[in-house]
Amino acid sequence: MSQALPKIQDWFDARDRLRADFLNRHGWSPSAMVAVGDDCAFRRYFRMQAQNGKSAILMEAVPDGSAFVTPGHNMNDFIRISEYLRKLGLTAPEVYHKDMKEGYLLLEDFGSASFKMALNSGVDRQELYALATDVLKFLRLNARVGDIALPRYYDSHVHAGRRRLVDWFVAAQKGTLNPDGMVEEYLAVWDAIEKSLPPVPEGFLHIDYHFENLMWMPQRQGLSRCGILDFQGAMTGPVPYDLANLLEDARVDVPANLRRDMLDRFCEGMTQTEEDSFRAWYRVLATQFHCRVIGQFIRLAVRDGKTRYLQHMPRVAGYISEALKDPVLSPLQAWLQKNDIRFDTVPMIDPARTSQFIRLDAF
């Protein structure tokens, strides 16, 4: 297996002079730079604090076109989608300065309080989830398909990623290479489930809509209290996807009664037919999301050395177990039982050992 992380980390570490030059050109001192995090798409973030109290966020990213770029995470997409969301009246960061060749953006600073941090500091859970849900409802009603050119979800790496349950989780659980045809058989089950449902409504998808990508800005009013980040992978696709991502977050427990309340809130104003279809698709898309993520966490550990996501695997396995009780997923449940694939426990992942069981054609 390739080990991408050390290579990209070396690349970042060799950029001190480029970073300083970019900041100096725009009136910022590199000495005022404080790291505020990175993510699994090979980007790093720093808060720039000036003496006059003004602040900004430096995004240091792999430039568009590089071999290191994560699919769906281009800088140019971040810029144009931010502009689109701001024109709609939502809160996305303004881009102050950019260097597309070297991979730098200087952005509006929304502060340090993500929705997750706000929740942990005592802000009312219901208020936060209602606001995040209302932003998605606003997008459903106001972001029309075709307003902005976006990739289609069903042609994307995200949709293809539902196979990672088999490619990575099943291989790790069984401790052996998957047999030929197993992935294809599994995908055929999903195809049959989707074909059994009415067409799903499509619209703007953030794709990574969860509490760590939403910023709590209580000094503002209405929907503007929600600052939206990490949207550069946005797509056109099935509307229930983002709500499923929010309410069945891989990183945080969401009480079942709150999930029901927010589903009801989102569906207000729909006809009964629209609501029935939405809820069925919600279950399908949420479970496909979990099937992708539970495999992706193993993939990040084995391929990239990022083991911190493994702690969330039991939560995701729990979501899948719960979802399989829904009749719409009975064909998937039957297939999983036939292949003795279980979610009552998750495998212990030793990256070096697990890599032996991953097929070369794993996605």
Pick the CATH number of 4-107 from 3.50.50.60, 3.20.20.70, 3.30.200.20, 3.40.50.1260: 3.30.200.20
User: Would you tell me how many other CB atoms lie within 10 Å of the CB of residue 36?
Assistant: 13
Q: Tell me the HSE value of 184 on the side-chain side, using a 13 A CA sphere.
A: 4
Read off the pLDDT of residues 163-207 as tens digits, 9 standing for 90 and up. 999 999 999 999 999 999 999 999 999 999 999 999 999 999 999
d(CA 76, CA 105): 10
Q: How many CB atoms lie within 10 A of CB 84?
A: 18
Give the span between the Cα atoms of 318 and 290, in whole angstroms.
Answer: 10
SS3 of the chain: CCCHHHHHHHHHHCCHHHHHHHHHHCCCCHHHEEEEEECCCCEEEEEEECCCCCEEEEEEECCCCCCCCCCCCCHHHHHHHHHHHHHHCCECCCEEEEECCCCEEEECCCCCCEHHHHHHCCCCHHHHHHHHHHHHHHHHHHCCCCCCCCCEHHHCHHHHHHHHHHHHHHHHHHCCCCCCCHHHHHHHHHHHHHHCCCCCCEEEECCCCCHHHEEECCCCCHHHHEEECCCCCCEEEECHHHHHHHHCCCCCCCCHHHHHHHHHHHHCCCCHHHHHHHHHHHHHHHHHHHHHHHHHHHHHHHHHCCCHHHHHHHHHHHHHHHHCCCHHHHHHHHHHHHCCCCCCCCCCCCHHHHHHHCCCCCC
What pLDDT sits at residue 16? 83
Q: What is the pLDDT of residue 257?
A: 96
* Cβ-Cβ contacts under 8 Å for 183 (sequence gap 6 or more): 163, 166, 167
The reported pTM is: 0.88
Instruction: Tell how far CA 339 is from the center of its chain.
Output: 29
Query: Which pLDDT does position 356 carry in this prediction?
Result: 97
pLDDT of 1: 39
Give how far Cα 334 sits from Cα of 136, 327, 338, Å: 33, 11, 6
Superfamily of structural domain 115-357: Aminoglycoside phosphotransferase (APH), C-terminal lobe (3.90.1200.10)
Q: How far apart are CA 22 and CA 191, in angstroms?
A: 48
Predicted local confidence at residue 65, as pLDDT? 66
Rounded-to-10 torsion of CA 308, 314, 315, 317: 120
CA 149 to chain centre: 20
Q: List the chain domain ranges.
A: 4-107, 115-357
Structure confidence at residue 33 (pLDDT): 81
Residues 231, 235, 239, 245, Cα dihedral to 10°: -50
Ranges in the chain, pLDDT < 50: 1-6
The residue type at 52: N
Q: Cα(345)–Cα(212) distance, rounded to whole angstroms?
A: 26
CA-based nearest residue to 178, from 316, 320, 356: 356
